[in-house]
Amino acid sequence: MKKHRVVFEVNVDGAEQWQGLLNNVENLQKAFGRETTEIEVVAHGKGLGLILKTNEAMRERLQLVSGAGVGFAACENTMRRMNLKREDLMPFATTVDSGVAEVVRKQEAGCSYIKSSS
C-alpha cells in the first residue's frame, strides 16, 4: 500500500483561507484514506494565527483534523518575532526551528508540497 506524504505550507491570515486549507487536507485524506496519508501543516508568518490558542473560531475543527492524524507545526522564528511561547499554541501543535526550512526538509524527504494561498 503506497504511503502518501504531504506538507502543506500556510503563511496567510484569515478564516476563509484557513477553512480552504482544512478542506484540502480533509479531501486528501478522503481520497487516499487516513491510513495511507501522512500530512503536516507548517504554519509561519501570518499563517501562525491558525494554530494559536486565541483562534477560538477554528479550535473544534482543528482538533478534529489533528485527531485524524494531521500534524501541525509552528515556526519558532515567527514565534520569536511575535513574542509567542509554546503555551500560546493549540495543545496538539509542535514547533520547528524554521517553517521554510521544515518545508524544504519535507520536500527533500519526498513529501508532496501544497501551498495555502489567499
Q: What is the CATH number of the domain that holds 8?
A: 3.40.1260.10
**pLDDT digits 0-9 by tens, 11-47:** 999 999 999 999 999 999 999 999 999 999 999 999 9
CA distance 91 to 34: 21
> Can you give the residue range of the structural domain that contains 56?
4-115
Q: Give every CB contact of residue 113 below 8 A, 6+ residues apart in sequence.
A: 6, 7, 9, 103, 106, 107
Summarised one tens digit per residue, pLDDT across range 52-80 is 999 999 999 999 999 999 999 999 999 99
pTM of this prediction?
0.95
Number of domains in the chain: 1
Are the CB atoms for 84 and 48 separated by under 8 Å? yes
CA-wise closest residue to 70 among 41, 109, 46, 30: 41
Distance CA 109, CA 12 (A): 25
